[in-house]
């Protein structure tokens, strides 16, 4: 009995320590996270495929960090056979290799999508020589379009950062936050409050309405908004709720005021963290959250008829393999041979005017070139 108690307390202590050190991990033991069992599912709408022109006025780029085919299929099974993603009739594959590595990280992967250059792992908006490279968000802004970034991670984390910041290293969070304030971005919503407010240099967020409460963020319809809903990263779905959906709707409301159009990047940040943790549950719940955000973007685009939607990933995470499941019951079992990123191609899904350009096998940098040609004509 005493031994059992000792073991139990040791187990509890270990669990708590792991949780405190790294919030990407789960407090539950890994085995409990291998099988996802759905408790509910949502219905998926079919949107019309009719658009006003050949070229888009707006682009919404949705990046599922670490989202390979298995992550998509885990979500599809978890939702009992369907995803909003299925509205995308044009599908391609993206080769994700970085300039210095067969396996990219999110900084080089993000910079390839944001600026169209292959760079070294860890680089945020700079090339292999450390020179700043202009991003599609910055070019859109210079051309009078509205711009926005939305993520569940800290907004200063590698993926969103690579669209707006220029730093030699992804870990320079305060410098990345300072880069946000050098630009003309209209709306950014995510975590990362500490990187803006607890700064050593005491810089403030001039010109932005800063809101930390989702209920207040939701009410902002115009002007410039910095929505910072967590000190660093937002929690898992159980904790953050529909934060990403609300943030997406808010960003679309604000950006749609600009008659010249807009560029918006939305990241489902934590699909990647589920892969790193080897957790089927984490991957599936974040994939379902991301797909419902895709649904909101599609709803906007279907009504607007001048918006191009691209959904892709920066890389795959975990080498996720679906090893069992039940489509009717929404059960998914998976195995993860690695806790790291993998080299495989990732899917590219698109909907709207210009979507037909994003088919076949392409480099991740080609996605940027195609978006730039369609949105800015260069
Ligand atoms: Mg990311
Ligand atoms: Zn990762």
Output the CA 273–ligand 2 centroid distance in Å. Answer: 6
Summarised one tens digit per residue, pLDDT across range 95-112 is: 999 999 999 999 999 999
- What CATH number is attached to the domain comprising 117? 3.40.720.10
User: 331 pairs with which residues across the strands?
Assistant: 37, 326
Provide the b/e sequence for 88-102 (b: ≥16 CB within 10 Å). Answer: bebebbbbbbbbeee
* Beta sheet of 146-154, edge-to-edge order: 209-211, 225-230, 187-191, 146-154, 262-268, 58-64, 307-312, 346-351, 90-95, 360-363
Identify which ligand lies nearest to the alpha carbon of 270. 1
In total, the chain counts a number of residues equal to 378
Identify which ligand lies nearest to the alpha carbon of 163. 1
Whether 35 is in a domain gets the answer no
Summarised one tens digit per residue, pLDDT across range 136-183 is: 999 999 999 999 999 999 999 999 999 999 999 999 999 999 999 888
- Check 38, 94, 106, 269 and give the catalytic one: 106
Output the CA 52–ligand 1 centroid distance in Å. Answer: 33
Output the CA 223–ligand 2 centroid distance in Å. Answer: 33
What is the reported pTM? 0.91
Position 204 scores a pLDDT of 56
- For ion ligand 1, residues whose CB falls within 5 Å: 65, 106, 159, 269
| Angle at 233 (CA atoms; ends 137, 172), nearest 5 degrees | 60
Whether 54 is in a domain gets the answer no
Whether 225 is in a domain gets the answer yes
Output the CA 63–ligand 1 centroid distance in Å. Answer: 8
Output the CA 4–ligand 2 centroid distance in Å. Answer: 37
Whether 42 is in a domain gets the answer no
Summarised one tens digit per residue, pLDDT across range 270-305 is: 999 999 999 999 999 999 999 999 999 999 999 999
Domain count, the chain: 1
Output the CA 66–ligand 2 centroid distance in Å. Answer: 6
Quick one: average pLDDT of 326-341?
Answer: 96
Identify which ligand lies nearest to the alpha carbon of 103. 2
Whether 117 is in a domain gets the answer yes
Identify which ligand lies nearest to the alpha carbon of 276. 2
Whether 335 is in a domain gets the answer yes
Whether 318 is in a domain gets the answer yes
Is 70 tagged catalytic? no
For 246-288, give the secondary structure using H, E and C. Answer: HHHHHHHHHHCCCCCCEEEEEEECCHHHHHHCCCHHHHHHHHH
Is pLDDT of 12 > 60?
Answer: no
**Containing structural domain, residue 281:** 5-30+59-376
Whether 47 is in a domain gets the answer no
């Amino acid at each position: 009995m005493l031994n059992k108690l000792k073991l139990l307390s040791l187990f509890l202590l270990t669990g708590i320590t792991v949780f405190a050190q790294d919030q990407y991990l789960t407090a539950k033991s890994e085995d409990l996270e291998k099988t996802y069992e759905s408790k509910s599912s949502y219905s998926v709408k079919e949107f019309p495929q009719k658009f006003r022109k050949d070229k888009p006025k707006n682009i919404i780029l949705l990046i599922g960090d670490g989202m390979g085919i298995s992550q998509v299929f885990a979500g599809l099974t978890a939702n009992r056979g369907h995803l909003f993603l299925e509205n995308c009739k044009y599908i391609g594959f993206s080769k994700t290799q970085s300039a210095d590595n067969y396996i990219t990280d999110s900084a080089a992967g993000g910079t390839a999508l944001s600026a169209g250059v292959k760079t070294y792992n860890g680089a945020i908006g700079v090339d292999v020589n450390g020179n700043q490279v202009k991003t599609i968000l910055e070019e859109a802004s210079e051309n009078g379009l509205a711009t926005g970034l939305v993520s569940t991670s800290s907004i200063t984390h590698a993926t969103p950062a690579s669209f707006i910041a220029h730093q030699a290293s992804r870990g320079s969070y305060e410098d990345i936050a300072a880069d946000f304030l050098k630009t003309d971005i209209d709306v950014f919503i995510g975590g990362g409050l500490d990187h803006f407010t607890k700064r050593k240099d005491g810089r403030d967020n001039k010109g932005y309405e800063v809101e930390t409460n989702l209920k207040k963020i939701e009410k902002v319809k115009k002007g410039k908004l910095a929505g910072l809903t967590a000190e660093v990263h937002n929690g898992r779905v159980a904790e953050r709720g529909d934060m990403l959906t609300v943030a997406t709707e808010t960003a679309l409301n604000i950006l749609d005021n600009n008659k010249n159009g807009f560029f918006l990047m939305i990241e489902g940040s934590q699909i990647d963290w589920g892969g790193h943790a080897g957790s089927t549950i984490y991957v599936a719940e974040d994939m379902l959250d991301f797909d419902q955000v895709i649904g909101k973007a599609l709803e906007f685009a279907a009504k607007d008829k001048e918006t191009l939607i691209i959904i892709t990933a920066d890389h795959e995470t975990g080498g996720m393999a679906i090893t069992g499941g039940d489509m009717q019951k929404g059960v998914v079992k998976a195995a993860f041979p690695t806790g790291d990123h993998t080299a495989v191609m990732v899917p590219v899904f698109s909907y709207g005017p210009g979507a037909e350009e994003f088919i076949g096998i392409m480099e991740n940098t080609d996605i940027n070139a195609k978006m730039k040609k369609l949105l800015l004509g260069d």
